[in-house]
């Protein structure tokens, strides 16, 4: 569905991606792991059209999308939940959700999807009128994912969805990721919770200093000595 | 004159001037809210609006239209044409510098301000441009207070535009997009907001509002010249900061507040002191409440 080939991109003065090749198959959950500064977020920002490529190609179902403005990429069904959630704190929860559907014009469909995401995130239902800035970290993450779903994504890019959350919230977020997949959404997941990410994913890539150093099935990556030492810690 | 009468007279005059400041201040505050730029050419945009309106009114009256039709049409024409000036200013002077830090666009704004002044000087001459219809003198009295019709018109038009702007920003899709882009332009892009177009729209709306203010002022004072944007721009900027820069209701409150205080100072201390009082107030507010009257301290973006 999504393919990156030879993608190079800069982050400020440094080259953050040094020729990344990556493929996300339709309907799969693919996880991208690696330490801080490995280029994971830059890769997602490049897919979303917010980080220009210096060379390489990004295609969605065979069609190049690099060079398109971000709104055109959202319009093609590629929606990102960025790191740090970035909810609109000076707007209500409801307005945040409606902003997720900004490019859609089907009023009925938007109303149906609003009901659907509120079923998926019942916590948000009681807070629709509340200012989004007053939500807790976990609730904000739920709102960020719900907002992305309001855009009817075909491919959802999730950047560190569990970062900084309480363990119970982490579990809830991963349950929701599994749920979203059953609805036919393809996912590219960047996570520092490598263990959980690999347990849910169908395919895994390890990124180090801007390049893919490992690509394997999650079960093999979980057994890989280098991965264990670098990312899994002593468990 | 009875002191009480003078007080109310100054309040009415102050609200009139304040409504004009508020209309101009909206352009400063909306642009600042979305790209964190103090658009120092905004005063000149207001001045151009006044010229366009005056010229349009002269043409329409010359064509035989009654004033009741010519003046509203001139206001609309001024708003539309000046909106295009604002759009061009953004395209030419600011957009190429979007990623160049904060200083470069500021210098560009100052350059644009000088350019627009000289452009009007060359095209229209140094002499005052006089509004073709004498409307200042007619009015009515309300007890001890004299109210000119044009003051009523200014207050009514300003109130209408502010209500309309609030409704646009709060209730419409593009208005919401504007608020999102002001809060977090990257995230706005990620939900599909065409941020560049939203910024352009912000310039068009701000310029159109300033143009309406310009036409109203020429009608009130009877004339305009190519330097008129300087003081008006400075005052409106002060109003925007008083209310809390980036905050739309703040610009409205700040404008009215500044107009009234200035007018009372002119009435009770002396006309030559009104600018002193206005800017002293700015300094005091900046010391005591740097976020402005209605501003909230916005935490740093993550």
User: What mean pLDDT comes out for the span A226-230?
Assistant: 81
Q: Does residue A94 share a domain with residue A73?
A: no
Q: Does residue A32 share a domain with residue A131?
A: no
- Beta strands A155-159 and A186-190: pairing type? parallel
- Residue A170 Cα distances to A68, A130, A136, A214, angstroms: 34, 23, 13, 26
Residue of B nearest to A48 (CA): B190
Nearest to A71 among B183, B187, B194 (CB): B194
Nearest to A90 among B183, B190, B192 (CB): B183
State what percent of residues in chain A have pLDDT above 90: 73
Contact in structure between B214 and B49 (CB atoms under 8 Å): yes
* Residues in chain B closer than 8 A to A70 (CB atoms): 189-190, 192
Q: Does residue A144 share a domain with residue A193?
A: no
Q: Does residue A164 share a domain with residue A122?
A: no
**B66 and A CB contact within 8 Å:** no
Residues near B74 by Cβ (< 8 Å), separated by ≥ 6? B53, B54, B56, B57, B60, B215
Q: pLDDT value at position A233?
A: 64
* Tokens, residue A190: 């960047």
- Residue B6 Cα distances to B9, B144, B166, B264, angstroms: 5, 8, 33, 9
Q: Does residue A111 share a domain with residue A16?
A: no
Nearest to B190 among A75, A80, A91 (CB): A80
Q: pLDDT value at position B286?
A: 85
Q: Residue B246: helix, strand or coil by DSSP?
A: coil
pTM score: 0.90
Contact in structure between B36 and B244 (CB atoms under 8 Å): no
A102-126 pLDDT tens trace: 999 999 999 999 999 999 999 999 9
What CATH code would you report for B3-288? 1.10.3470
What number of CA atoms fall less than 13 Å from residue B163's CA on the CB side? 6
Q: pLDDT value at position A229?
A: 80
Range of the domain at A118: 85-151
Mean pLDDT of chain A: 91
Q: Does residue A231 share a domain with residue A158?
A: yes
Domain spans in chain B, listed from the N-terminal domain onward: 3-288
Query: Which residue, A132, A151, A170, sits at the end of a domain?
Result: A151
**B298 or A28: whose pLDDT is higher?**
A28
Query: Which residue, A99, A132, A151, sits at the end of a domain?
Result: A151
Q: Residue B238: helix, strand or coil by DSSP?
A: helix
A131-172 pLDDT tens trace: 999 998 889 999 999 999 999 999 999 999 999 888 888 999
What whole-number distance in Å separates Cα of residue A162 and Cα of residue A86? 14
- pLDDT class of A70 with cuts at 50, 70, 90: very high
Q: Does residue A157 share a domain with residue A108?
A: no
**Best CA proximity match to B229, nearest among B58, B11, B31, B48:** B48
Complex confidence, ipTM: 0.92
Domain count, chain A: 2
Q: pLDDT value at position A98?
A: 95
Runs of H (alpha helix) within A14-166: 40-47, 70-75, 93-100, 107-120, 122-125, 137-149
Runs of H (alpha helix) within B93-148: 103-124
Q: pLDDT value at position B301?
A: 35
Q: Measure in Å the smallest separation between the Cα of B292 and chain A Cα atoms.
A: 18
Q: What is the number of CB-based contacts under 8 A between chain A and chain B?
A: 64
B270: alpha, beta or left, given left = phi > 0 and alpha = psi -120 to 50? left
CATH number for the domain that contains residue A44: 3.40.50.300
Residues near B122 by Cβ (< 8 Å), separated by ≥ 6? none
Task: Note the maximum CA span of chain B.
Answer: 62
What whole-number distance in Å separates Cα of residue B257 and Cα of residue B139? 24
Specify the DSSP element, H or E, that contains A63. strand A63-64
Task: Note the maximum CA span of chain A.
Answer: 52
Record: contact A102-B189, CB cut-off 8 A: no
* Residues in chain B closer than 8 A to A95 (CB atoms): 176
* Tokens, residue A226: 């280098």
* Residues in chain B closer than 8 A to A48 (CB atoms): 189-190
Q: pLDDT value at position B296?
A: 65
Nearest to B189 among A70, A95, A147 (CB): A70
User: What mean pLDDT comes out for the span A11-27?
Assistant: 89
User: What mean pLDDT comes out for the span A72-101?
Assistant: 95
Q: pLDDT value at position A234?
A: 47
Q: Residue B146: helix, strand or coil by DSSP?
A: strand
- Beta strands A186-190 and A63-64: pairing type? unpaired
Q: pLDDT value at position B298?
A: 52
What whole-number distance in Å separates Cα of residue A12 and Cα of residue A19? 17
Q: Does residue A112 share a domain with residue A16?
A: no
What averages of pLDDT result for each successive group of 10 residues across chain B (302 residues)? 77 95 95 91 97 96 91 96 97 92 92 96 93 78 88 94 94 93 94 96 97 95 93 93 90 94 91 89 88 66 33
- Residue A97 Cα distances to A39, A94, A147, angstroms: 29, 5, 5
* Residues in chain A closer than 8 A to B180 (CB atoms): 88, 91, 99
Helix, strand counts (H, E) of chain A:
10, 10
Q: Measure in Å the smallest separation between the Cα of A107 and chain B Cα atoms.
A: 12
Q: Does residue A159 share a domain with residue A123?
A: no
A96-105 pLDDT tens trace: 999 999 999 9
Query: Which residue, A109, A126, A151, sits at the end of a domain?
Result: A151
Record: contact B176-A75, CB cut-off 8 A: no
Q: pLDDT value at position B141?
A: 87
- pLDDT class of A63 with cuts at 50, 70, 90: very high
Q: Does residue A110 share a domain with residue A72?
A: no
CB count within 10 Å of CB A127 equals: 17
Q: pLDDT value at position A133?
A: 92
- pLDDT class of A179 with cuts at 50, 70, 90: very high
What whole-number distance in Å separates Cα of residue B154 and Cα of residue B162? 12
Contact in structure between A158 and A174 (CB atoms under 8 Å): no
* Tokens, residue B80: 């539309």
Q: Does residue A8 share a domain with residue A69?
A: yes
Record: contact A89-B177, CB cut-off 8 A: no
Q: Does residue A174 share a domain with residue A130?
A: no
């Amino acid at each position: 569905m999504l393919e990156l080939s030879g993608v190079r991109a800069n982050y400020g003065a440094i080259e953050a991606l040094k020729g990344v090749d990556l493929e996300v198959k339709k309907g799969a959950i693919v996880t991208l792991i690696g330490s801080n500064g490995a280029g994971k977020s830059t890769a997602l920002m490049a897919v979303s059209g917010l980080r220009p490529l210096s060379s390489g190609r990004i295609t969605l179902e065979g069609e190049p999308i690099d060079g398109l403005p971000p709104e055109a990429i959202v319009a093609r069904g590629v929606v990102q939940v960025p790191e740090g959630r970035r909810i609109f704190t000076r707007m209500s929860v409801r307005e945040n959700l409606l902003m997720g559907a900004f490019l859609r014009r089907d009023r009925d469909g938007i109303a149906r999807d609003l009901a659907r995401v509120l079923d998926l995130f019942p916590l948000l239902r009681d807070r629709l009128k509340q200012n989004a800035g007053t939500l807790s970290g976990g609730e904000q993450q739920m709102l960020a994912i719900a907002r992305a779903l309001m855009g009817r994504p075909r491919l959802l890019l999730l950047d560190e969805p569990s970062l900084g959350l309480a363990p119970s919230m982490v579990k809830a977020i991963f349950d929701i990721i599994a749920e979203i997949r059953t609805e036919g959404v393809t996912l590219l997941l960047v996570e520092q919770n490598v263990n959980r990410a690999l347990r849910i994913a169908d395919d895994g890539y390890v990124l180090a200093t801007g390049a893919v150093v490992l690509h394997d099935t999650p079960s093999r990556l979980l057994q890989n000595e280098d991965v264990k030492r670098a990312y899994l810690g002593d468990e | 004159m009875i002191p009480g009468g003078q007080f109310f007279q100054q309040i009415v005059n102050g609200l009139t001037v304040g409504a004009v400041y508020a209309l101009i201040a909206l352009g400063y505050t909306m642009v600042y809210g979305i790209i964190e730029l103090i658009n120092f050419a905004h005063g000149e945009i207001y001045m151009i609006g006044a010229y366009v309106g005056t010229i349009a009114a002269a043409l329409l009256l010359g064509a035989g239209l009654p004033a009741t039709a010519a003046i509203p049409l001139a206001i609309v024409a001024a708003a539309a044409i000046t909106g295009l000036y604002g759009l061009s200013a953004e395209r030419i002077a600011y957009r190429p510098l979007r990623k160049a830090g904060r200083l470069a666009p500021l210098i560009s704004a100052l350059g644009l301000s000088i350019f627009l002044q000289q452009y009007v000087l060359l095209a229209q001459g140094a002499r005052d441009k006089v509004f073709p219809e004498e409307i200042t003198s007619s009015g009515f009295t309300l007890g001890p207070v004299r109210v000119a019709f044009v003051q009523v018109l200014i207050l009514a038009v300003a109130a209408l535009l502010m209500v309309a702007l609030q409704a646009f920003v709060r209730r419409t899709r593009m208005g919401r997009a504007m608020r999102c882009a002001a809060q977090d332009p990257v995230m706005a892009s990620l939900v599909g907001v065409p941020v560049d177009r939203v910024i352009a729209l912000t310039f068009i709306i701000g310029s159109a509002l300033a143009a309406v203010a310009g036409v109203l002022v020429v009608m009130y004072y009877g004339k305009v010249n190519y330097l008129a944007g300087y003081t008006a721009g400075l005052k409106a900027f002060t109003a925007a900061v008083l209310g809390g820069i980036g905050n739309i209701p703040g610009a409205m409150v700040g404008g009215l507040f500044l107009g009234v205080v200035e007018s009372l100072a002119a009435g009770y201390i002396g006309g030559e002191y009104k600018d002193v009082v206005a800017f002293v107030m700015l300094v005091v507010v900046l010391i005591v409440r740097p976020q402005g009257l209605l501003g909230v301290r916005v935490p740093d973006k993550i």
